[in-house]
Amino acid sequence: MPKADPLGHLGVTMTPRGGRLRVYSRHASSIELCLFDPDDPNWVAATVAMTPNRSHVWTAVHPELRPGARYSIRVDGPAGPTHSFDPARHLIDPHARGLARTTSGEWRAYVQEEHFDWGGVPKPAIPLDHTVVYEAHVKGLTKLNPDMPDELRGTYAGLAHPTTIAYLKELGVTTVQLLPVHQSVSEQRLLKQGLTNYWGYNTLNFFTPATGLATRHAQTGGTGAVLREFKGMVRLLHEAGLEVVLDVVYNHTAEEGPTGPTSSLRGIDAASYYRQTPGGEYIDTTGCGNTIDFSVPAAQRLVLDSLRYWANEVQIDGFRFDLMATLGRDRHAQFDPGHPLLRAILDDPALQGVKMIAEPWDVGLGGWQVGNFPAGYSEWNDGFRDRARNFWLTDAASARRHGTAPEGIGSLARRMTGSAHVFAAERGPLASVNFITAHDGFTLADLTAYDEKHNLGNGEGNRDGTSHNRSFNFGVEGPTDDARIVADRRKAMRNLLGTLLLSAGVPMITAGDEFGRSQRGNNNAYCHDSELTWLSWDHRGWQEDLLRVSKRLLALRRENPALRPVRYGKWGETVPSATQMDWFNKEGRSMTMLDWDSPAERTLQYLAASTPEFEEFNRILLIVHGLEDEVTVTLPEHVGVTGYTLLWDSSHDDISQLEPEHAPGGRLCVGPASMLLFRAHGEPLGPGEPGEPGENRGENSDPATDGGAAAAVVARGAEAASEADGGAPTRADGDV
């Protein structure tokens, strides 16, 4: 934002004459500040006419506009298809930092009590290459936790309870990404069905924490109590070294379509804040009824002010932007990577060091923008998700039906090494947020247990949610006691977790996947606030086994820098904090076109050697085998490598009985459809020193750079992947 800001400070600030409220409306003809009686939020005790300036900012000052005071605004203006003015309607100040509901169901803003003692606790500032994101719902994470007081379960305080923190630390994640915590409401359609928007992707206001996620004590504790509980949660998580990232929904509001409830922006200046045709039809790129018009500076300012508030006043470590392609659409509704808002978020001095994660799509025309955001953003990589699911699930299903998988291993290798064909070289592998599942869609366990969605409980006749899940039930739909199917499913979960946590990029785990949580085949459970969506803390034996695997994989990622490069490598150069890779087939020889591309040759080995900048030298060997038959692998011989120590094998819950030490050139039986990780021992190569003659020396960015025939194969695969990954996903009722 420019230093000379024509809009100035919006919302309420304190002055010697009392509180000053400033609100933007370009088209209003009059605005009135209403102050309510302290004992009756329905009784207007005082009104003040607000006056505009040349920047269309309206101002009023009143001595009673102080912490705890409840207030609203009433706005009048011209009639017309793009306007929704009503001088009798009480509206929420868009910059309000406190909200309370009256007994009649209306919302009142109140002046927030901001003071909080942070005790000098700093933000953890975890480097992006060490970051592991854990996506969770505040309520769902702790609602069933038996080891905390009942009044804390499902609340901000419950998230900060010692048992929750201990669990997160023992698991090994670094960053808790919370589903929306801005005050939200349920859509009118859901209310009529007796359902609720549990996920919270229907924001009422961008500055206030959701009251319903606080303890009863905080909800009845007066001005500032809910905010203090929220800040206390952040402080305790920071003390434990855990970051807090918020999933923020700026692309639309809870006002829904033109006939939806009017609570704030629509009544203040619909023509400025919402995308509309001249005839008043809403241009909806979100699938939620309305779309905020971010070509308007006031809308941009609303987002920036909200981000600054949460990042500084509430000490939030980062943001995941829901449907962020919408935030980058210009006045013609076209996505622009250089959009002023996208740039301002990165350049704002008040937001430096804050993690910025884009969901890089929306449902509008040209909405799929993966890889097109500016350097400084990380992006959800749906191509990684799809390739991993294909390789371990739908390819296996196809092979069982047709005798062969539809493709070779090259496309998975490209994703595991940082998706360099998607993200520009200057952005590097950390531009990719890798995930197998998210809050919407099947859980990890359900990916292996259901071929079809089972959403009848959502009240839409099973029409909602995607039907393209890239899942495989391994022979039976839903729960089964068939030992073979159960074993296949559990190994598939281990393979998917291994793919996620042993790949270059920033991994994101969906809460509960680490122990195999199920939603009984519901892939759009946004409207279920129940045990269907809450995490169970009572695990069966196999779930404890999977949890141990998850902890082991997270520890291995933490201990091996070669698995988490910061930069893409360059052919013939030693790039600091990149990874030098050498690719081998099952015979321990350089990969050929057939090895990369053939559905019959879905086995590779790669040596990944770190190029140290801040950590010690490290080299690993990862074997990926994607056929449902055993294979004999010859471990590669490589200059400087003297031996391999087995660290993990997805064929087994426990590798303690397996032979750990192996020699280069040794032969090893690899189980069907499995992954193995070894630590490679020996000395690092010197700068620019080549490997063995004919060796497939590459980089962490893309196996296509290895040259020769293999490069041609992978280049063709990249083109196919770009086509397959394209297209905007369908908006579910809660989120994409």
Please name the amino acid found at residue 67: P
In order, the DSSP letters of 102-131 are: -TTS-EEEE--------TTPPP----GGG-
Q: How many CB atoms lie within 10 A of CB 153?
A: 20
* Rounded Cα gap, residues 144 and 111, in angstroms: 34
Over 18-72, what HEC string results?
A: EEEEEEECCCCCEEEEEEEECCEEEEEEEEEEEEECCCCEEEEEECCCCCCCEEE
DSSP string for 264-304: SHHHHHHHHHB-B-TTS-B--SSSSS--B-TTSHHHHHHHH
- Both tokens of 482, joined, read 């068939």
Annotated catalytic, 322? yes
- SS3 at position 320: strand
- How far is residue 105's CA from residue 92's CA, in Å, rounded to a whole number? 13
Catalytic one among 247, 305, 322, 446? 322
Angle at 158 between CA 157 and CA 163, to 5 degrees: 125
Rg, the chain, Cα only: 27
Distance CA 442, CA 448 (A): 9
Cα angle 617, 618, 623 (rounded to 5 degrees) comes to 160
Dihedral of CA atoms 130, 136, 138, 143 in degrees, nearest 10, equals -120
Can you list the alpha helix ranges (DSSP code H) found in 470-623?
Answer: 483-501, 541-559, 593-597
Going through 436-534 in order, the beta strands assigned E by DSSP cover 506-510
Neighbouring residues of 582: CB distance < 8 A, sequence distance ≥ 6: 606, 607, 609, 636, 638, 691, 695, 696, 697, 698
AA identity, residue 552: R
Alpha carbon distance 119, 115 (integer Å) = 12
**CA separation for the pair 78, 59 (Å, rounded):** 20
The separation between CA 402 and the C-alpha centre of its own chain, rounded to angstroms, equals: 36
Say which of 256, 359, 488, 601 is annotated catalytic: 359
- What proportions of the chain, in percent to the nearest 5, are helix, strand and coil? 30, 20, 50
User: Quick check: 258 and 265 in contact, CB under 8 A?
Assistant: no
| CA-based nearest residue to 702, from 685, 680, 717 | 717
The residue whose two tokens read 């609720």 is 196
344 phi and psi angles, rounded to 5 deg: -65, -35
Residues shown for the chain: 736
Token readout for 393 is 């699930």
Handedness of CA 273, 279, 283, 287 (dihedral sign): positive
Helix, coil or strand: residue 553: helix
User: What is the pairing mode between strands 355-358 and 378-380?
Assistant: parallel
Indicate which residues carry an active-site annotation: 322, 359
